Amino acid sequence: MANVMRLAMGIVKFPAISLLDEVLNRRQCENLFFNFQNGVQALQSITSGHNEVFQKAEEDLYQIVYKAKVLIEDCCREDWCRVAVTQLTNKEAFRELLLDFENCFHTICEISCLYDPAQESKILAIRNDMTFYPTSIDAVKEDQTSICGRFSNHLDSTMNCDDCKLVQYLKEYLMSLQHVEGGGLDKIDFPYSYPRPKYTKNPPKVLGKSDNMCVFLTDWLGLESATKVFDIREPKDIDRLWKEASVLGGLNHPNIIKFYCCGFLEVENQFELVMECGKKTLSDHLNEEGPLEETKVVDIILQIANGMCYLHDMKVAHRDLKPGNVVVTIPNDSTLSNLGCIQVKLLDFGISKVDVKDYGELPTGRYIGTCGYMAPEIMANELSEMDALKAAEGPCRNAKLALTGNGSK
């Protein structure tokens, strides 16, 4: 546990955030900082003397602490307008990290009680005295207000042309998100003008292709991106494409692919949707790696479940969850890579349903999604009433079989 504690203490000794001039999501950074500081100090008094029993907990704690370090450092970077692309309305990343840290804290306490019964009363007292407080809703709103003010101030200052375009776009995008807050995600009115992606090669590298859509590897303001380009063949395509962009653009979660921008190309009669670029799909990862270790399987399943829970909280049903619609990203940190850590993110919301009700829906008369990953009850009777949120249980069960190698990929 010593290496983890050194890294953790490196974070809790991070220069006081409150002393820095400009920090994105300052209140959320400070809250995460102080929660981790108090938790790490408590863990130091619990784990001393029997470090050898914490190998798996150490790996989990390292990942959590490292992710917190990266998140806080990103928010403190000088090129804040570039960082704002990923940090805008990023409250779920802070909440997920705090929840993961809290769960890891309690796990270490339980292990300590098992291996050191003589200290159980002391350990339980430390655990019971420790409370992890998420950032309040009001504080999160203050962070967003601060970002809006920062956008306005910098538009009035001297900035290069690219930065001005980006700040103006992000300001309008944030206002659009706030306008529909609490309403339907398919109602977002995206800014008409946005920084266009650059296609990195000639011809551009193709990441995926279907009948009327092609995915290209692109560069968006220095960020590696994937750009979906759709051919508009009939008027109803416009509503469908706008819906997919609106659903993705209104979501922000560590296990959901990140939206960057979108717009219509009137000259080419096309629509482009620019998003974060995943390295490969989970299907490709499984084909390369084969059956995975149980701990890695559980981690991937939990990440997918976290993303799905967030979607359901937002009243969104994905309706096509499968390994091909999950992308894998590999961390740049060598230690995390050596531990085999990966992050998975959900994508492809083209047939998702928004404003899903909590009760059964009338039959559609046709299958929706991919047959091999549908819930069994839907496959049993195509015309039966179904619950769009509970139907996700089928893909989750099939995903478990695919990950463990006990079923067809």
Q: Are residues 33 and 107 in the same domain?
A: yes
Range of the domain at 215: 198-276
180 belongs to a structural domain: no
Q: Which ranges in 317-392 belong to alpha helices (H)?
A: 334-338, 376-380
Instruction: Determine contact, residues 63/296, Cβ cutoff 8 Å.
Output: no
Instruction: Determine contact, residues 229/272, Cβ cutoff 8 Å.
Output: yes
185 belongs to a structural domain: no
182 belongs to a structural domain: no
β-sheet bridge partners, residue 274: 227, 261
Q: For every one of its 409 residues, what pLDDT tens digit does the chain have, with 9 covering 90 and above?
A: 555 556 555 554 555 555 556 789 999 998 998 898 888 888 887 766 556 677 788 778 888 888 888 888 888 888 888 888 888 889 999 999 999 999 999 998 998 888 888 889 999 999 999 999 999 999 999 998 888 888 888 776 655 666 788 888 888 888 888 776 655 666 678 888 888 899 877 788 888 888 888 989 999 988 889 999 988 888 888 887 887 788 888 888 999 999 999 988 877 788 999 999 888 889 888 888 888 888 888 889 999 999 988 888 887 877 778 888 899 987 766 766 776 778 899 988 765 665 555 444 544 444 566 666 666 666 665 545 556 666 544 445 444 555 555 544 4
Gap between the Cα atoms of 345 and 321, Å rounded:
11
Residue that is last in its domain, among 106, 129, 145: 145
For residue 290, the domain's CATH number is 1.10.510.10
359 belongs to a structural domain: yes
Q: Are residues 286 and 333 in the same domain?
A: yes
Other Cβ atoms less than 10 A from the Cβ of 214: the count is 16
Q: Are residues 373 and 264 in the same domain?
A: no
SS3 for 181? coil
214 belongs to a structural domain: yes
Q: Are residues 63 and 34 in the same domain?
A: yes
242 belongs to a structural domain: yes
Q: Are residues 231 and 305 in the same domain?
A: no
Domains: count for the chain? 3
Residue that is last in its domain, among 259, 276, 293: 276
Give the DSSP letter of residue 290: -
